[in-house]
Chains A and B, each alone.
Chain A
Amino acid sequence: MKLFTKYSRVNLLATVIIFLLSATAFYFAIRYILINQVDNDLKIEEKEIETYVKEHNTLPEPIPVKDQKISYALSRKYFPERKFITTKAVVEDNAYRVLQFGIVTNGSVYTATVAKSLKGTDDLTQSILLISLATILLILGTSLFINRVLLKRLWKPFYTSLAVLKNFRVDKKQTLNLPPTDIDEFAFMNQALQKTTDQAQQEYLLLKEFTENASHEMQTPLAIIRSKLDLIIQNESLSEDQSKAMQSAYDAIEKLSRLNQSLLLLTKIENNQFAETANINLKQRLKEKLDAFHELWQNQNISVSSSLEDTTVQLNNELTDILLNNLLSNATRHNFSNGSIKIVLRARKLEISNSSKEKELNSQQMFSRFLSQNKTGGYNGLGLSIIKQICDVSGFTVQYLFANNQHQFTLSW
């Protein structure tokens, strides 16, 4: 439920109740006052009759006046009680206000009845009720209108800010462009949003910068360690055990430096440092790669079949190289001797499948960094992340399929 729907519901309900209550109170108050007025008129009439009787010692002739009836009746038993009555029984069905009082003339006791029609009074109260109702309806209508139009306009900056915030991404270098507003609450909100998102962006940049710097800073010590190893092995007197230890150290340094390079690469891709694209003849590039990998496959007795169609894609030159290297390395690394690799290039997709002793990959986690389920040799678990990241920035989709013990990666664009 929208905020102002809820608000106007409560508001309308309260307004209706207050108006009904006040209309009722008004009705009774007006009625009381008007009847009081009529009673006063009746009392004046009573006075006149009594004065007349005192002067003339006879009952006055009832003069027919509109809305007023006077009658006399002989009272036999006792002096009648003076009383006001509201009744409909006087003439037809109209309501009348009646004053009965006793009067004595010529030794006889009469009951005088003066009745005044309440028709005017009823008309008045009715009009008052009508006016009240009309006012309620009018106020309800106006309030609805205000809610619909005015509130909508008033809340507009809020919804605009919301829409801007929805499109905000912490990894994109964009500032939050919130519209200026003269409403304090929204201005405060925008200020807070601006501050929070700025801060998030800044922290994100710092973190990214940190990763990048850390990787860069690691290059030099790695270079030093490697160069020292290269120097140490020149020593003729190294024993076989020492040589083995040196080999382990070499392998570890190699792994570390590859890991570092992969991390740097991922950061760069995220930083959009490979935004420049060109028309890439994928068939030709794949052929070059197949040539480069040929010896490797021959060595492991891996049979490779390929079916390549002429295909041109929009890609970054460097990323194409890295992507194909990663895909083919992946298919090679997880293969076995006498295994197979199949490469199919069509107009809108590239399929690379390979045999492997490994079981199906968890498609939920396979692209997560460092989550490779089986770390083979120097593999650092970033290969698939890099493939995914390159596909993401290039507008490609990458799918994984496992069937007949074949791992298949399909890139489509």
Chain B
Amino acid sequence: MKVLIIEDEKELSESISAYLANEQFVCERTFDFNSSMEKIAMHDYACIVLDVNLPGGSGLDILKELKNQDKTDGILIISARNSLDDKVFALNIGADDYLTKPFHLPELAARVNAIIRRKAFEGKNEINCNELKLDLAEKNVKVHDNPVDLTKKEYEMLLYFVSNKNRVISKNAIAEHLWGDNMEVSGNYDFIYTHIKNLRRKLIHAGAADYIKSIYGMGYKFSI
């Protein structure tokens, strides 16, 4: 699957592409308005990661152009502007999601995955991961077809891990994913530990392998 990263900050663009590039994604990168317009005219992408402020024009105009051409590429806006109005505006003109800088790469990967899944299966989809089966519509999890009773947070956490398979996710990224950035409860990660402990216990109890590994107390990794 091809992902286009339109971001004028080369370093950031490189990080995104390095993180996303795995067996699943092939990343292409453009750094300004005009070359991006050319790229989107010539190719179709599973998802486009789109910065708003670009040399030569606005990312939102690229978004409008995509919609004008009836392209079905998924679009994730990444912007330094975090007001509700900006988000609502971008979503209204057809963006699939909106992520505010600075973000965690696992968060970006999870959003890109979600967009691609939504596009590909029109919402009624499930993720199969060995013996794990996540039903994204019903928001439940089955191990060997037996339902596992997870709390909302545990389910979200599992989905987040599955979207970032074989990647180390920092505790900060998990906290921000689960609690949003408004809560200002950083510095206290005990509750993450509790959730992960419960999630692991429930999955193992249901007969799944122990996929979640702690990495030196700094983060966690879902190895498969």
Contacts and interface: CB of A to CB of B under 8 A. Distances in A.
Interface of A: 216, 219-220, 222-231, 233-234, 238, 240, 243-244, 246-247, 250-251, 253-255, 257-258, 261, 264, 268, 273, 292-293, 295-296, 299-300, 317-318, 321-322, 325-326, 329, 332-333, 376-379, 383
B18 interface: yes
Contact of A233 (B9, B12, B215): B215
Nearest to A317: B84
B186 A329 contact: no
A299 B190 contact: yes
A221 B197 CA distance: 34
A231 B215 contact: no
Given A223-B12, A243-B218, A318-B84, A229 B184 contact: no
Contacts of B16: 227
Nearest to B78: A223
Nearest to B11: A224
Interface in B175-219: 179, 181-188, 190-191, 194, 215-219
B195 to A, nearest CB: 8
Contact of B172 (A222, A225, A251, A376): A251
Contacts of A226: 102-105
A320 B101 CA distance: 23
Contacts of B173: 230
Contact of A325 (B101, B167, B184, B218): B184
Interface in B1-33: 9, 11-12, 15-16, 18-19
B39 interface: no
30 contacts: A219-B101, A219-B102, A220-B9, A223-B9, A223-B102, A224-B11, A224-B15, A226-B103, A226-B104, A227-B12, A227-B105, A231-B15, A231-B19, A233-B168, A233-B215, A234-B167, A243-B215, A244-B218, A254-B172, A257-B102, A261-B181, A292-B183, A296-B183, A299-B190, A299-B191, A300-B190, A318-B83, A329-B185, A333-B184, A378-B187
Contacts of A247: 170-171, 217-218
Interface string B86-124: 000000000000000111111000000000000000000
Shortest 10 CB-CB contacts between residues of A and residues of B: A377-B187, A227-B15, A378-B186, A223-B102, A243-B216, A230-B105, A219-B80, A222-B102, A378-B187, A223-B101
Nearest to B8: A220
Interface bin, chain B: 35 or more
Nearest to B215: A243
B185 A332 contact: yes
B146 interface: no
A216 B182 contact: no
Contacts of A299: 190-191, 194
Contacts of A253: 102
Contacts of B171: 247, 250
Contacts, number: 128
Contacts of A227: 11-12, 15-16, 19, 102, 105
B153 interface: yes
B125 interface: no
Given A223-B101, A250-B172, A325 B15 contact: no
**Taking each of B103, B184, B217, which has the highest tally of chain A beta carbons within 10 Å of its own beta carbon?**
B184
B39 to A, nearest CB: 22
A300 B185 CA distance: 12
Contacts of B19: 227, 230-231, 234
Nearest to B104: A230
A325 B181 CA distance: 10
A345 B221 CA distance: 43
B128 interface: no
B72 interface: no
A254 B15 contact: no
Given A257-B102, A329-B185, A224 B12 contact: yes
B216 A268 contact: no
A216 B80 contact: yes
A329 B18 CA distance: 35
B82 interface: yes
A299 B153 CA distance: 13
A329 B184 contact: yes
A273 B153 CA distance: 33
Contacts of A379: 184, 187
A218 B159 CA distance: 31
Nearest to B192: A299
Nearest to B182: A325
A229 B179 CA distance: 21
Contacts of B105: 226-227, 230-231
A257 B107 CA distance: 16
A238 B179 CA distance: 28
Contacts of B219: 233
B184 A246 contact: no
Tell me which of B102, B106, B179, B215 has the highest count of chain A C-beta atoms within 10 A of its own C-beta.
Answer: B102
Contacts of B182: 321-322, 325, 329
Given A224-B9, A247-B218, A296-B191, A258 B101 contact: no
A244 B216 contact: yes
Nearest to A220: B9
A293 B184 CA distance: 12
Contact of B188 (A229, A230, A257, A377): A377
B216 A238 contact: yes
Contacts of B217: 243-244, 247
Given A223-B12, A247-B218, A299-B190, A230 B84 contact: no
